[in-house]
Each structure stands twice: as C-alpha cells, then as structure tokens.
Structure 1
Amino acid sequence: MRRPKFRGFSKVINSWHYGHGWFEIDYTEEYLLEKGIEKQAMLYTEAYPIECELKSMGEYTGLKDKHGTEIFEGDIIYWEINNGVGIESYTAVVKWSENLVKEGWNQTYKWLVGYTGNYYRGSYDELSTPAAYNDELQVIGNIYENPELLEGTA
C-alpha cells in the first residue's frame, strides 16, 4: 500500500511543498483578518512542517499524466479522444468524491473529474474514465494557480 502524499502552496516561500500528512490550523477569524491571510494548513514534509494555503491542499491520486507528472486533487487535466467522427477535447478538475456531498457523490469515495468545458460542464465522472486515455491525458494547471483555465470554457 502506498503512503499518502499531499501538496500545498506556501505564500511565504512562494512554492509548492510535498508531504505525507497535514491538518487545518485553527486560527481565529480575527487573527486571519489581522494578518491579512486566508485559512492555513500545516503540511508535514520529510524535512519540517510548513504552513500552506488551505485551499491549495491536495492529495496525490496515484496516477501520472502522459509526461509523468503526478496528478493531484485540484489539478486541471486535459485530454482528447477520437470518437470516430472527429476529435473531442475535454477539460476537467480532479476532485475527491467525499468532498462532493451536495452532488450526491459522498458515499462513493472515489477520485472524480468535474468537467469544466464543452457539453459536459458541471457533470462528474470517475477519474478512471479519462485515465483510460493516459497516452493523451495531461495536467495543464491547477485551480489554485490557474483559475483562469476554468473561466470561459462553457
């Protein structure tokens, strides 16, 4: 069994960090306002714990794209398939089903993709669907650093 792997972005150091455990830091709203920061998480790296932006935290899915890039929760992925009539392209965000209670996926505990473009916008599928096209699948960004990739793709 593989050891869980997580990543988080530290604004203090302005870089991504990787570790094997994390927790949300329980700062008061007053402290966050005073410091001008958003909610934070403590990521345990191999060397030391580091404070990261909570909204940047993501778990490794165990999959890699066609370039060997590890795919994490919050990554934006892209792939194309030839449907026999032409080329269809897809863009989606990697999500963990347990975090999608209102969408009805909370009892499945699976890696999902939330489609952001074309006809399927707003719908979900299991990550295994695009992973079947692994020779085409590529990470093109993430929701933390590249939110613009999610805009205007209807």
Structure 2
Amino acid sequence: MKEKFEENQDLLWQTDRYESLKLAESPWENNKVSISYTIPGIERKNEEDTNNLRVKTLEHIDNTYPHDTWTHIYTDGSSDNMEAGGAGIHIWPSDGSKENTAKATVSICSNFKAEVIAIKTALEHIKQTKTTQARNKNT
C-alpha cells in the first residue's frame, strides 16, 4: 500500500498532465454575480397553478439569459426509496439544437446523489463540448 502511495504521489507534481480550472477572480469577489431568489410575478408558489409557475419561470430565464447567446442546461436526478435512481440532463445550446441525456445511477442511491450525478454529467458534457469546439477551431 505504501509503495502504491509513493508511486502515485509523483503524479501530484506533474501538473502539466492535468487540466485545471483557473478563475480570474473568486466568485464571491466578483461584483458582477447576482443571485435572485424570486421570479417576477410569483408571490407564493403554493397559490399558483403548476403550469403558470413553469411559464413564468421559463420566461424569466429566457429574458435574463436569452437562448441566442446562452446555453441552457437543466438537470434532474431522483431515486425510488434508496433503490433504482436516474439522472436526466437537457441541454439547449445557443445554436437552437437540443440534446437529452439520461443516466442510470447505482442501485443504492439517494435523491441527493442522483442530483449530483446529473450535475456532474452536465459538467462533463460542457468540458467535452468546450474541448471539441476548441479542437474544431484549431483545425
């Protein structure tokens, strides 16, 4: 076990082999970040029709982040009593195309873990797409 650790420890110093995420500044220091806890036109969601809530929410998202300039990614994950679970991802790039992906989770899975798997899958897709787009620009 100790030998395996020492062998892998060398990898920690080989940073050129791994892509890292570097931010220009910390998100909490960026004054351009805004967090909204409300949707305009929705006072109490338990007093609204479900369809009306959906329409107002999607209108707000589209007005704030227009589809022609932003990629919209929606994730959902759920589990049935800590048993079979799944993760779903809907990706709507600014070019108008749409992609849906579903992924089975492990046999023993909580709702939280299924949600995390959905988000992780979406992030992997973004990374892969970004890499593919960069590769296509360079060829």
Q: Does TM, normalized by the shorter one, top 0.5?
A: no
TM range (shorter): under 0.3
As a proportion of its length, which structure holds more strand? 1
As a proportion of its length, which structure holds more helix? 2
Instruction: Give the TM-score of the pair, scaled to structure 1.
Output: 0.21
Instruction: Give the TM-score of the pair, scaled to structure 2.
Output: 0.22
